[in-house]
Structure 1
Amino acid sequence: MKYLILALALSFVCSCKQTNDKNIQLVTVDVAKDYPPKEVWLQDIADIEYIPLATADSMLVNSDFSVVSNDGIVVRGGKVGEILLFDKQGQTLQGRICCQGQGPEEYTAVIFNIVDWQRKEVFIADFTTLKVYDFSGKYLRTLSRQSIMDLNIIDLNRDYLLCSLFKEGNEDPYAPYFLLSKEDGKIDTLSIEIPHCIASDRKIVWDDGHTNNAYGILPQLHSCADKIWLTDVALDTIFVMHPDLHLEPVMVPLHAPTTNLEAPLLLFRGMNDRYAWISRLPRQVTVKMSDMVANREKREKLYMYDRNADEWCEPVYRNRAINNRKMDPKFINTTAVPYGYGLIELNAMDLAEAYANNNQITDEKLKEIASNLKEEDNPVLMILKFKN
């Protein structure tokens, strides 16, 4: 069965449509513009909840990568290749997968993982395969054996994963998006066509002076726990995909990259009913290999949009709950939570030190949690419910 979506016309994106929930105006952004810094206090833009993750020898977390949903919390465990599934209170372990190895039913690394709480299955991608396990870590099946590095894969519904294929340097029209059956790995291509591949041209300079050219790839898909956006820059528009697979435009760059070859590329970072976040990627980038190895490569700025004020800014986040500027967050994760929420992970060591050091924690709920923390404990999840 093929799922058909009408071809995308550029004239379609210039209008404002009504979403399933409310009227949301199309956001237009001048990607080439620098927006001014602005202090943004977390407590002014969101209501806050804290979820401490339980700590035990069998559920130690060694990563700041967490996904929070209404069904549970997914984190990377302390062991290599380990994935832990907590209940939504973060206190009880619902499942554990740790099958990294070289065998036919194992994964060589965890590039990403997707948890389907209804099917009680975990989809784990290494470099060349996408394998499926149950919550106990039992191998079930392999869905794909192609290079995962060329794919975006996100959860769509109970039956399908939504995927996109990046064809590096492709100058011809092609349809990048397709559905992948969770049951047997069959593919249904969606009739969403882009005119050609658009990427940033990266020149990498080595210590001996020779150079290599590479593509700066932007994701073709973006998602949170319960919404999906199509973000391929060659669409000239960011679209939200509704559950029935129809598309609605939600953001458009002022200068379309398909017609303006000098326009920077829009890197979509997420949105909700009130706020939106973006970065940009220049068309031409030169970096030194030594800077890349040392993680000194210049990062593009993050910009935040407030619909109510019709204002863009470069946010400088502040947290009234902790009187310590060193612990102010650099960004808010909006991909690992449901629509309308954000996530910040608070390190247990930092919280314990802040509590012991002149009582720097001012929020009473967080103070109570920190008073019982040890430095080696699992992190505390700070959940932001954005105000409208």
Structure 2
Amino acid sequence: MHYKYIGKIIPWILLAITLASGSGCSNAEKNVAAPNEAEDDSTRILTSTNIQDVDLLKTYPEKKITIDDIADIRYIPLETNEESVIGFARKVSFGDDKIFVYDGQGDQILIFDNDGKYLSKINRKDAGPHGYNKITDMTVDFDSQLVYIMDLSFPRKLKAYDFDGYRQKEFTIPNEPSINQMTMFNSDKIIFHCQPSGGLNTEEVIGTHPYRWIDTRTGAVTPVDIEIEHPESSTYTVIDGNHARMTSIEMYPLLKTGKSVVLADYTYPTVYQSDGKNFKPLFTKPEGKKSATGKIPMSTVWAMSDRYILFFVTEKSLNKNTDSIEQGGTRALLYDRKTGEIIDPDWNRRDVKGGSIMMEWNWEMPENTFVTTYSSSTLKMLDEKGRLSGRLKEIADSIDEEANDVLVLMKMKK
């Protein structure tokens, strides 16, 4: 299946852009120690010459894949009541016995058990001692039972809450407002990716070290020792009157799968995977270099298990007439690490007639698991058209159109 996207046009209040552009990751390059000086001795970016190269620029055959044949499927309807309504599940983090949902619309974090039963929530949008202004991202340390949020303030703050919703830590993150994504590396460190949000009418240069560590013990911010000569952004921002207009390609370079983090930069050739302590090279992919026509190949890892890697591949270009970025040749590629086969997957499901499967972005996934969702309205529509069967039909018949999403966990077979 070919995944087709268009750039998202998102209005932003000018003040928010002004705050973000005051000091971005590009400027922060001058305010942090050099990688060799700042890097924690316990964390290394390892090298290897004996890793596989995966060519993502070739054309691969389209092939029908019935997901039930390669994965065990589990549905989790998230309980809906007056306290647990989710406006928009922007990010979900899965633990052994709890599921954390960052509700971007409600600006809160809801906690469910692994069967979807609502437990509690963190909603501290106030000026009190435990309050926050606006959540922009979340990551969960299940070992220490802490939820870290990035609070939209100036200067930006990283705040840690226990699972009962009480603030335990707070760190000011100086000169680092352009944070695109963050995830737990281990209990001592969070890794985050810098992306320009204040580049006005231009693609802002974000320095040669677009990834940062945050020490969760001290709040110290240091660069990850991966140097990228010309890092690319997936966003482009212009000023339009009193508003900023941003176009973006929905893709992220960091993937959390179980306790492991995969770093697959858009254009950098080496893909790394953590072992809890170090980053080790996993494989290489084509380096993204701008062509004579101005197109830049970009790719990342969308989902991963021990056997399968799902890549997202696209080309970025700048349309100077519309002051926006465009993408072309967008596709997903499924790599079977056991057989070496690479295909353009046309996903099918036994309990759904027709349709496609769109994996979730920027979620903290269970190990060896791909994740997607169904909204209640989509399930109702499919049910009315007679396209559902089995457990999914049972769920559709038991919920109404205002219910929370149904999580679909696909634990990949080996």
What's the TM-score once normalised by structure 2's chain length?
Answer: 0.72
SS at match of 1:367: helix
The one of 362, 372, 382 equivalent to 1:344 is 372
Q: Are 1:251 and 2:279 counterparts?
A: no
SS of 1:320's equivalent in the other structure is: coil
Question: Which residue in 2 is equivalent to 1:224?
Answer: 257
Task: State how 1:193-232 maps to structure 2 within 5 Å.
Answer: 193-194=226-227, 196-199=229-232, 219=252, 221-232=254-265
Counterpart residue type for residue 273 of structure 2: V
* Counterparts of 1:84 and 1:15, CA distance in 2: 44
| Cα distance in 1 for residues equivalent to 2:79 and 2:113 | 10
Root mean square deviation of aligned Cα: 3.9
Instruction: Describe the shift of the 1:284–1:263 C-alpha distance in structure 2 as closer, same or farther (beyond 3 A).
Output: closer
Once residues 155 and 265 of structure 1 are traced to their aligned partners in structure 2, the CA distance between those partners, rounded to angstroms, is 24
1:88 corresponding residue in structure 2: 114
Instruction: Report Cα offsets for 1:51-108 as digits up to 9, x if no partner.
Output: 1211111111222443333231122348621210111111131x31122357785433
Is the 8 Å Cα contact of residues 200 and 216 (structure 1) preserved in structure 2? no
Q: Contact between 2:146 and 2:161, CA under 8 Å: does it hold in 1?
A: yes
Q: Which residue of 2 aligns with 1:57?
A: 82
- Aligned match of 2:388: 361
Paired letter, 1:305:
Y
Q: What residue number does 2:190 align with? A: 161
Tell me the equivalent position of 2:397.
371
Asked if residue 30 in structure 1 is aligned to residue 55 in structure 2, the reply is yes
Give 1:186's aligned residue: 220
Contact 1:202 1:284 (8 Å CA) reproduced: no
Aligned residue pairs total 359
3-state SS of 1:301 partner: strand
* Larger RCO of the pair (alpha carbons < 8 Å, separation 6+): 2
Q: Once the two structures are superposed, what CA deviation does each residue of 1:152-207 show, in whole Å capped at 9, x if it has no partner? A: 42112223223355695367xx55555423233134655x2415232269888999
Aligned-partner residue type, residue 112 of structure 1: D
Question: Which residue does 2:97 correspond to in 1?
Answer: 71
Write out aligned runs for 1:297-316 (5 A). 300-316=330-346
Structure 2, unaligned runs of 5 or more: 1-38, 197-203
Q: What is the Cα deviation at residue 297 of structure 1?
A: 6.5
Partner AA of 1:35 in structure 2: Y
Give me the whole-angstrom Cα distance separating, in 2, the residues matched to 1:337 and 1:226.
9
Structure 1 residue 329: Cα displacement: 2.0
Paired with 2:71 and 2:63, the residues of 1 have a C-alpha distance of: 16
SS state at 1:366 partner:
helix
TM-score by length of 1: 0.76
Q: In the superposition, relative to structure 1, how do residues 86 and 256 fare at CA in structure 2: closer, same or farther (>3 Å)?
A: same
Sequence identity percentage: 23
- Amino acid across the alignment from 2:346: V
Distance in 1 (CA, whole Å) between partners of 2:316 and 2:136 is 27
Distance in 2 of aligned mates of 1:373 and 1:201? 37
The 5 Å alignment of 1:321-340 reads 321-323=351-353, 325-326=354-355, 328-331=356-359, 335-340=363-368
Q: Distance in 1 between matches of 2:42 and 2:133?
A: 36
Cα contact 1:277–1:305 (8 A) shared by 2: yes
Deviation per CA, 1:333-366: give whole Å up to 9, x if none.
Answer: 68432221111212222323444544x3222x33
Distance 1:122 1:34 in 2: 42
Letter in 2 for 1:111: T
